[in-house]
Amino acid sequence: MVLNTTYSFDEYLKWRNNVDYYADDIFLQKVTHYFAKEDFEKVDSSARKLSRLASYRWRDIADDIAQPHNRIFIQHYDAHNHRIDRIVRPKALEEMEKEVFGQGLFSSKTLPWERLVKLILIYENGEAGIACPLVCTEGLVALLEQYHNHPELQKILKHCKEGIDGDFGIGAQYLSEIQGGSDVAANDLEAVQDGDHWLLYGKKFFCSATHADYVVITARPKGSEHVGLFAMPSWIDKSRGKRNNYTIDRLKWKMGTAELPTAEITFNGTIAYKTGPI
């Protein structure tokens, strides 16, 4: 016997398709007003503008890129047998990424509460290949604001914080290794000093936001019992065409957040820069 149901998603979908994450959230507006104080007018105006993107355009893109037929994949070699390890992502995701990072969320021109409210609105759409890189970039900027005693670190900071010619750098964080997972003290990735920079040798097992421009990475200096923190450019050239002496061995086949590339990586003389004491 087949039982028919009268339940329908239509009422919910009508609400979802029309809701504005900020304009329709009176509680968030009141909290913002309370904490932003004299900056509220600017924060409120900026939040309303971004919310119209997050609530509709970015929401629709986030839904679409999560579909199985849009799953990210990797092209290890080009047609001429050159190792390229190109991560192929949906064009719509790349466009959304430029729009989100183009907001200059970590710029000195962006007010603290303006940044926070905008991040809240962006996170309404879940991971969407955006949330993890945003958090990692914020951490990278905070780290380099404290430790930027090398010209390359200063360039990375500027690229991620203020942008260069309208292009904003994206950060990632690589910690996990197969023998210890997130137990950083068990890291085996080796860092060998080479003049004013370091070279990395070994493997990382769970590297999310693999498409990022820069990476905060943990490694053990050769001969040391301590683990250090380094900033690593993903590319050797400005055109993002040649990787920094590492190979992406494979992408993880994840049940969730598939729109965010996560990989196993082998480092073979990868250039990195020390951040802080070891």
| Neighbouring-strand partners of residue 73 | 88
User: How many whole angstroms separate alpha carbon 8 and alpha carbon 143?
Assistant: 49
Predicted confidence (pLDDT) per residue in 95-105, tens digit: 999 999 999 99
Every domain of the chain with CATH number 2.40.110.20 lies at 130-278
Instruction: Count CB neighbours of 29 within 10 A.
Output: 17
Residue 28, pLDDT above cutoff 90? yes
Residue 1, pLDDT above cutoff 80? no
pLDDT of the residue at 181: 85
What CATH number does the domain located at 130-278 have? 2.40.110.20
Direct distance between the N- and C-terminal alpha carbons of the chain, in angstroms, rounded to an integer: 70
pLDDT of the residue at 18: 97
241 alpha-carbon distance from chain centroid: 19
pLDDT of the residue at 182: 84
The DSSP annotation for 118-149 comes to HHHHHHTT--TTTHHHHHHHHHHHHHHHH---
pLDDT band at 226 (very low <50, low <70, confident <90, very high): very high
What type of residue is 179? Q
Q: Is the pTM of this model over 0.85?
A: yes
pLDDT of the residue at 64: 97
Question: 4 vs 169, which has greater pLDDT?
Answer: 169
pLDDT band at 3 (very low <50, low <70, confident <90, very high): confident
| Neighbouring-strand partners of residue 221 | 191
The residue assigned the tokens 């609400």 is 15
Q: H-helix or E-strand containing 159?
A: helix 151-161
Please give the share of the chain, as a percent, with pLDDT higher than 70. Answer: 100
Predicted confidence (pLDDT) per residue in 147-185, tens digit: 999 999 999 999 999 999 999 999 999 999 999 888 899
User: How many whole angstroms separate alpha carbon 93 and alpha carbon 66?
Assistant: 10
